Chains A and B, each alone.
Chain A
């Protein structure tokens, strides 16, 4: 096991700058998820850690060894690819053993270790098959086995679950989590699925256009997103963004929001006094207020400010029923009650937890602190 340090990594293809100075520090045994939209440079970064791509600038260290010029095979890493990249003409057993064979591990020991790994991943009955004779989930397991058997310092995963169906993805996700706990290995995991990121990671690095937007724990990223991009990317259903103008209220800052209730538009003054320090100097200026759907819940509680508004449409998802509301002529998603226990329609009471709202500068998109 080892720590992993990426210092100001830059990657250019000709004039195109794909990574613009990425710095990430990983403790020994930490699980880092690289999250970002397609084309933001996640795979490029992972390939640079693996040694499959050269760095244009910067430095990568595994443990306390600079590995910039170290061949991939000597970096003591293992990688699981999105397409699994199983060797089609070899059996599962040969696939798993190939890395050991290349490192000159004696045959008897190879067989022993392959068997162990196959047991761990519950695929000992598949060892004699060819990859083409396996299901997607089984192929995925073989790819994992190939990485596991080497017992490397650092595991790298490039969207390993994206080719699986929803149910299998859930299963494998748990399996990877369990594996990480058992091995306590350093892992870097690339995905564009934010749920995967939130459930697996010790820390998440959010990438956009080759730049790290935020590097923090899932809780921190969810509760205190660094900017509007992060706030919009993480969380499902996504955060609502409302343009508001900060006013000086009696108890502190406040903002008018036009709600639709009983067929008419009704202005309501939202109390933002919990954000007094944050909004210092913003009175009279526009800001963006971010409210996650669960911060607007149906019913009257003392968790926040109660308002009445009309439900436009409802979307039942089973566990939750989402309500589409109309604020400032903009669609706003709110969380209704759980399950199908209550019919949601017409004008109803909603509690807004303004305290938990995130406020962003509309120009820079940065969260106000």
Chain B
């Protein structure tokens, strides 16, 4: 900032050129990134004739939502022609409990690890942190066995359990790092006032947590909603989440390839996470950079 001011003051022309160059580069990259999105949205609004006849980049003649309707409620996935609708609700009923459970547990473990330092707390944290680096492929076989033993293979509950467990490493990390900035004296004062472990958590710590809760919720929702691997591994048929269903929809081709339906299906699948980012994205950044509590 100060550098730019210092150098540009005596030479306005070169500064202008630099500025234009900068804009140019930014615009090129913006187009680079936005073009695929544009093609997806545009194609989903065209009908098949238009797709075949026109250019990939041409604007659709009219806003035609029939491909969306088809993808949502009529398209064939495997042998069932139900559209994405039931799978969408599968994903919702998997993601919401998964997010709530992993966020709550992460908050609790983060709180216990920072404010109730027990012997070996740091080791426990290190081990939990290790969970962030374990590739999910590694755990698929043992997890399948575990789910089998528990009798929840091929159910939404199985997926909720899997996502809660594997989300815990990240949510614990978030909450632990946030809670170390909360002064221990708050907990000490509350202890003397007569509050116990859970009362302090509920009355003092949790009310201070909204910024990091937002971070955890966004992160977990995105992870769980977008997950393909666990969904494809542990469920079949009607219990599948939307990501797996969408993949099957695209691969189920009888006759002509319906590009517009595929694109609409992809957009429907991505919509919830997109919406979450659009509405809560700035809280995400704010929460990640939130500092300690004063007063």
The reply to whether A89 and B208 form a contact with Cβ atoms under 8 Å apart is yes
Q: Given A81-B188, A85-B186, verify A102-B295 contact (CB < 8 Å).
A: no
The reply to whether A87 and B204 form a contact with Cβ atoms under 8 Å apart is yes
The reply to whether B193 and A99 form a contact with Cβ atoms under 8 Å apart is yes
Residue of A nearest to B193 (CB): A99
Q: Given A85-B185, A85-B186, A102-B199, verify A77-B192 contact (CB < 8 Å).
A: yes
Q: Given A81-B185, A102-B195, verify A86-B295 contact (CB < 8 Å).
A: yes
Whether a CB of chain A sits under 8 angstroms from the CB of B293 is: yes
9-residue interface stretch from A131-139, A190-198, A298-306: A131-139
Tell me how far the C-beta of A113 lies from the nearest C-beta in chain B, rounded to whole angstroms.
Answer: 14
Tell me how far the C-beta of A155 lies from the nearest C-beta in chain B, rounded to whole angstroms.
Answer: 11
The reply to whether B192 and A83 form a contact with Cβ atoms under 8 Å apart is no
Please report the total number of A residues contacting B with Cβ < 8 Å: 28
Interface string of B188-203 (1 = CB under 8 A from A): 1111111100010001
Q: Which one, B186, B192, B194, contacts A87 given CB within 8 A? A: B186
Complex: how many Å from CA A51 to CA B191?
Answer: 10
In addition to A73-B192, A81-B185, 10 A-B residue pairs with Cβ atoms within 8 Å of each other are: A81-B189, A82-B185, A85-B183, A87-B186, A87-B203, A88-B294, A88-B295, A98-B203, A102-B199, A103-B194
Please report the total number of B residues contacting A with Cβ < 8 Å: 19
Q: B residues engaging A (CB < 8 A)?
A: 183, 185-186, 188-195, 199, 203-204, 207-208, 293-295
Q: B199 — which chain A residues lie within 8 A by C-beta? A: 102
Q: Given A85-B183, A88-B208, A89-B207, verify A132-B295 contact (CB < 8 Å).
A: yes
Whether a CB of chain B sits under 8 angstroms from the CB of A52 is: yes
Residue of B nearest to A98 (CB): B193
Q: B189 — which chain A residues lie within 8 A by C-beta? A: 79, 81, 85, 87, 146
Residue of B nearest to A79 (CB): B192
Interface string of A112-153 (1 = CB under 8 A from B): 000000000000000000111010000100000010000000
Q: Given A79-B189, A81-B189, A86-B295, verify A73-B194 contact (CB < 8 Å).
A: yes
Whether a CB of chain B sits under 8 angstroms from the CB of A357 is: no
